[in-house]
Every structure is written in C-alpha cells, then in structure tokens.
Structure 1
Amino acid sequence: MTTIDPGAELKARIAEIKERFAIESAGGKLTVRRDDGLYRHLEVEMPKSSAYWFEVMTWPGALAITGHTGSHIFRRDEDMLLFFRTCMGPGPDWKIDTRYWAEKVQPDGIGSTGVQSYAEDRVKAYIKQAAQEAEADHPGLLAEVEEELFSRYSKADLETEAGAKAALAAFEFDGFRFDTAGWEFTEYDYWFLYTCQALAWTVAQYDARVQVAA
C-alpha cells in the first residue's frame, strides 16, 4: 500500500477546514459573559448564519465547547485557556497539535470522545487498491470485488466500520482474502478538527480583548 497516505489526507483536511473556518469566522463576535478567574463564559456569534454560534466555558481543570461545532470537554491543566495558549505558541498563525489536543478530550458515558469517525472513503480506496494489486495473480478478482462489495445489489455494509470489517473478513475469491493489517479504519472527525480551529480562534480573540482592556 503506497498510494494511500492518511497523514497527507489529514493535512489536506485540516487545510480545507482552516480555510472554511477563516471564511465563516470573518467578522465574528466574541462576547464575554463571565470572566472570573478560571470561571469564564465566552460566546461567539459568526455572521454567516444565526445557526453558527458556539460557547466556550472554563472552570478549574476543564474547558467545554458547545454549539454548531458539536460538544467536547477538555481536561488537562488548571487553566485550560493557558493550556491552549501555550500549545498554540505566540503570534497570529496559531499551531494546533491535533493528536495532543485529542488526547485531552473526555469520553462520554459510553466511552466515546467523538474525536474519531469511520473513514469510509479511505477503506473503499484500500479495498480497490488491494484488489488491483492482486488481480494479476487472481484473474477476475476486480469483478468479484465490484459485485460483492460495491454493486447496488451487494449485501455488504461498507458504510460502517463494523460492517466493513465483517464484509472484508467474509470475502474470499480464488484463495484471495483481504489482509487489512496496517489499514487505518478511522480518521479525525470533521467537526473535531473544526472545533480545534474554533478554540484557537477563541483564545486569540480573548487574548486580544484582554490586552485592549489592559
């Protein structure tokens, strides 16, 4: 597997989301509802639509964000705005360590953090590439894969991670079976990546507001 690069995919997705957020946040308004030490309530309205808003709240040891970004709770340091500020570094071109920030998200009652989601397009690309590479040794494999996994009449469920793994485990043709070792079935969720941009923007806006007030 040489043509599928999850790392490159992530960089491209982050660049796309960063560009989208820059457009949507232009003219955005930060309102400080509460600013009492480590207890803060920050509200953001974005001009694109009345539906585009989010809130950031902090208390000792935690930060919560909710709104059109989705909802996440981060825990790491006593002052979570300071945590994100330190991670981002100085200057207007903030840096986001996606993996590190993701590690600070708290799971919900069923153990999910909402950070990762099933990478359907990537898994389909893995399947097609593996079949193409093995076609010479197993003539007819590509046609069988198309019929059994991709056709409209297929019973395979490639829309969920569990369904895809079950379908791949069950597939066999002329001695060929899929070897999924090394396949990455998940990717960072789109709205988690968007949330990272929202948090970085909010910290920068809050800091600028505090500096002006000082």
Structure 2
Amino acid sequence: MKDTKIKDRVLENISRHEMTIHRDDGLYRHIQFSQPGTNCYRFDLVTWPGYLCVTGDMGCWTFSRIADMFAFFNDGIGRGINPGYWSEKFESGTGHGRCEPPCYEFDSDAFDKCLQEWLACYLENCEDEDDAQQAKETISELTGNGFRTENDAFNALNDACFPHGVSTYEITEGMGSTMTYSFHYLWICYAIVWGIQRYNESKTAVPAEASHDQPQL
C-alpha cells in the first residue's frame, strides 16, 4: 500500500517533466528531467561505466552494479521496482550500511507490533497478576508514540519499567525488523525507472510522433 501511494505521488510530481539530453555518449549520459520554469522535483540521471547517479531535488543517490546501469534498472520497466535488491547496489557513504538511512527509515508501526507480540507471549506464560498488569501498562505506554527514530524508540524501551526478570535486551533480540524503505528512496527508485523509460522511448520514437504519454511504472 505504501509503495502504491508513493508511485502515485511520483507520477503526480513528475508528470509534466520534460527530458533534456545534455550528453548521450555510450555509457556516458547526462539526462535532465524537469518542469519548465521550476526546479521543483527536478532530477538528473548521470551514468558512467559501472555507475548511475541521480541528483536533484530529492537528493543525490549513486548506484553501482554493471557497466551499463540503464540496463540494470531496465528490469524494473513494466515489472515494478525492486527496492530490496537495488538497495544492495546503493553506494552509501562511509560508516553507513545498506540497511541504514537513506534507503531505510524507522517504522514505528512495526515497533509497536513487535512489542504487542512480545506482550502476548509474555502473558501466555505469566502466572503473576501484578506482573501481567505491569507489563500491559508498560507496553501501553510505549506503543502509539510514533517514534521518529530507532534511537528514540529503543531508548524509551530501555528506560521503561518492566516486571522483575524481564530483560529489555531479550525483548530487543526477539524483535523482527523495525525498518522500512524510506519515502525518498522509493521516490528515487520510481523516478529512475520512469526516466529511463522516457529515454528508451525517445530512442525509438519518430520525432513527429513524439507524445507526452506517461510511462507505466
């Protein structure tokens, strides 16, 4: 559902963009997509052997996998994006892994779900009513806060008051993933596919028949 909403948002943001080819020399390309009169949601696709870089209003993103990165992302045309695999090809900065920002962001809903799952398991094996009540109250206080970052969420978890014998370390270790693809990353994935499709169509279209029909993501 999130991906679909973002795809619709991307199409809304870039549907009026025009393509300007600054360079098209084999694996060396510089293609600009922007709406005349504004740089809002502008993005440029720049390639050189082994790399594709997206720059513009939504940040700078560099991917590396094969010599022709347009061919790499062509797989997404007509079949949808592949954010998990593509994130592995993202050239992140020093000290960042592929499962850290900017490709991923903390998911507070997933955090809440993990806590509720832990509580259900704990109550199933808890025989002390006071401990059970305390656990319920603590989880109630921790959930629904809409934590923006992983640090905020887990600091709150570590500071929470749990029944004797409950280790927040064990709760954390038992959690599933609390990360999700970031909005900006998914936006970029859709924009890359859209831009490459526009470029591909320009290579095969007869100039007199060129249209403003939108590529299908």
TM-score, structure 2 as length reference: 0.76
Structure 2: unaligned runs, 5 residues or longer? 127-131, 208-217
Distance apart, 1:185 and its partner CA: 2.1
SS of the equivalent of 2:20 reads strand
- Listed as ranges, the matches of 1:197-208 within 5 Å are 197-208=190-201
1:143 aligns with 2:137: yes
Distance change >3 Å, CA 150–CA 212, structure 1 → 2:
closer
Q: Would you identify which runs of 4 or more consecutive aligned residues in structure 1 move more than 3 Å?
A: 46-50, 128-137, 144-147, 149-152, 169-172, 175-178
- Output the amino acid matched with 2:192: L
User: 2:48 matched to which residue of 1?
Assistant: 59
CA distance in 1, matches of 2:181, 2:36: 27
1:119 aligns with 2:107: yes
1:32 aligns with 2:21: yes
SS of the equivalent of 1:139 reads helix
User: 1:191 matched to which residue of 2?
Assistant: 184
CA distance in 1, matches of 2:21, 2:137: 60
Distance apart, 1:204 and its partner CA: 0.4
- Listed as ranges, the matches of 1:88-107 within 5 Å are 88=76, 93-107=78-92
CA distance in 1, matches of 2:80, 2:197: 12
CA distance in 2, matches of 1:151, 1:211: 52
- Output the amino acid matched with 2:12: I
Distance change >3 Å, CA 33–CA 200, structure 1 → 2:
same
**What is the Cα-based RMSD across aligned positions, in Å?**
2.9
Aligned length: 194
Distance change >3 Å, CA 35–CA 151, structure 1 → 2:
closer
Q: Deviations over 1:11-49 (max 9, x none)?
A: x21111111112222232111111111111010114796
Distance apart, 1:163 and its partner CA: 3.4
2:34–2:41 CA contact under 8 A, matched in 1? yes
SS of the equivalent of 1:174 reads coil
CA distance in 2, matches of 1:183, 1:191: 23
TM-score, structure 1 as length reference: 0.77
- Output the amino acid matched with 2:197: A
Q: Deviations over 1:158-209 (max 9, x none)?
A: 4321332233244342234452314212111111111000000011000000
Q: Matched residues, percent identical? A: 26
The structure whose Rg is larger is 2
User: 1:166 matched to which residue of 2?
Assistant: 155
1:80 aligns with 2:69: yes
1:132–1:142 CA contact under 8 A, matched in 2? no
CA distance in 2, matches of 1:24, 1:47: 13
